[in-house]
Amino acid sequence: MRETHKIQPTLVEPWLDVPHAKELKAVSDLLDNHPTIGERVTQDIGRKSGRPGMTGDQAFRILILKQLNEFSYDELAFHLADSQTYRRFCGFGLTDTIPKRSTLAENLKRISAET
């Protein structure tokens, strides 16, 4: 069964002291205080079988990054793999595997507008 969110990412670095990272931290704190958002996204993207995959919370945070930066799925996959700040925002630790472009597209497209 798919998790709603990760309780503790592995090996995360502290937030960078730059404006964009501070903005993302503020959004992250807001999302942390409203876990029902991730729960609703989990209902959209969740499957009862197969690999656990990304959590609903991670999918929503990734969607925020995509929309905020107007990234294509290729750009999104690159920046998630490359950016310590984006990994932190989305709940991925330094040693966590980042979803591939196709996985990102598949999961984000499942999130309904009503959610």
Does 84 or 3 have the greater pLDDT score? Answer: 84
Identify whether 54 is part of a domain: yes
Per the rule left: phi > 0, alpha: psi between -120 and 50, beta: everything else, 2 is beta
Residue 113's pLDDT is what? 87
The count of structural domains within the chain is 1
pTM of the model: 0.82
pLDDT in tens, 28-42: 999 999 989 988 998
Identify whether 75 is part of a domain: yes
Domain that holds residue 69: 19-110
Identify whether 91 is part of a domain: yes
Identify whether 11 is part of a domain: no
User: In this model, does residue 49 exceed pLDDT 50?
Assistant: no
The proportion of the chain whose per-residue pLDDT surpasses 70, expressed as a percent, equals: 83
Identify whether 43 is part of a domain: yes
Identify whether 14 is part of a domain: no
pLDDT band with cut points at 50, 70 and 90 for residue 76: very high
CB 3 within 8 A of CB 52: yes
